[in-house]
Chains A and B, each alone.
Chain A
Amino acid sequence: IQLTQSPSSLSASVGDRVTITCRASQGISNYLAWYQQKPGKAPKLLIYAASTLQSGVPSRFSGSGSGTDFTLTISSLQPEDFATYYCQQLNSYPLTFGGGTKVEIK
C-alpha cells in the first residue's frame, strides 16, 4: 500500500493552523499512525488509529480520516513543532510510511 503525503514541505509561522494530508492507494480502515521526527532523532508517535492522541502529546495535534484519506492538523503551530511528519499504515504488510512532510519556519 502506497501512502502519498502532501505537501512534501511547507513554511508556516508560529500560531498558524497546519494541515497535512496522507492518501492511501487502497482502503486501510483506520489503521493509520502519525509520527514526528526532528533532525538526528528517532520518530515519535503522535496519533494512532487515525485519530487517537498518544499519551503525552499536546492536544493541538489531531488526526482524522478513514479508508484512503487522512489528515493531521496542528491547531496552533509552536516553535517545537518544526519537524518532519510521517504517516504509516498498519493495515497490511509490508507496513509502509508516507514520504514525509517537512514543516519549516516562515
Chain B
Amino acid sequence: QVQLVQSGAEVKKPGASVKVSCKASGYTFTGHYMHWVRQAPGQGLEWMGWINPNSGVTNYAQNFQGRVTMTRDTSISTAYMELSRLTSDDTAVYYCAKSSKNRSSSPFDYWGQGTLVTVSS
C-alpha cells in the first residue's frame, strides 16, 4: 500500500530554515512527481512546487522562488522540502503529495500526513 510518511512538527525562529522529509513506500518512487502543498491555520491549500524524483528537476511556485529547495534521495525513497528565511507567515502544515501518473500535471492521489511548522520568536 502506498504511504507517504513525513517528519515531525517543527518550531523555528524567524529567519531560520526548516527541512521537512517525506518517505515514500508502496510504489516506484522515481516514477511519480512529488509535490509540496502548504496550509496555513484555518486557510486553504497553496501549491509550492514539485520535484521529479527520477531526474531531480524541480519547478517552484513563484511565491517561493529563492526560498524553497526540493531535493530527493532515491536510495531511501525520500523527498525533502527546505524553506529558508522563515517568517510568521510561514506557519502552516506542509504536505507532500504524489502525482497519480508520471506527469507533473497529474492530480495528487496520495498525501503525507502533514508536518506542522510553527515560526515564532
Q: Give residues in A with beta carbon < 8 Å to B.
A: 31, 33, 35, 42-45, 48, 54, 86, 88, 90-91, 93-100
A-B contacts, 21 of them at CB < 8 A, read A31-B105, A33-B107, A35-B45, A42-B111, A42-B114, A43-B111, A44-B111, A48-B106, A88-B45, A88-B108, A90-B107, A91-B105, A93-B59, A93-B61, A94-B61, A95-B47, A95-B105, A96-B47, A97-B46, A98-B44, A100-B44
Q: Give residues in B with beta carbon < 8 Å to A.
A: 35, 44-47, 59, 61-63, 95, 97, 100, 105-109, 111-114
**Which of the listed residues A94, A96, A100 has the most CB atoms from chain B within 10 Å of its own CB?**
A94
Give me the 7 closest cross-chain CB pairs, A-B, nearest first. Answer: A42-B111, A33-B107, A48-B107, A97-B45, A95-B47, A94-B61, A90-B105
B1 to chain A, nearest CB (A): 12
Chain A contact residues: helix, strand, loop or mixed: loop
Looking at the complex, which one of A44, A48, A94, A97 makes contact with B63 (CB distance below 8 Å)?
A94
B121 to chain A, nearest CB (A): 26
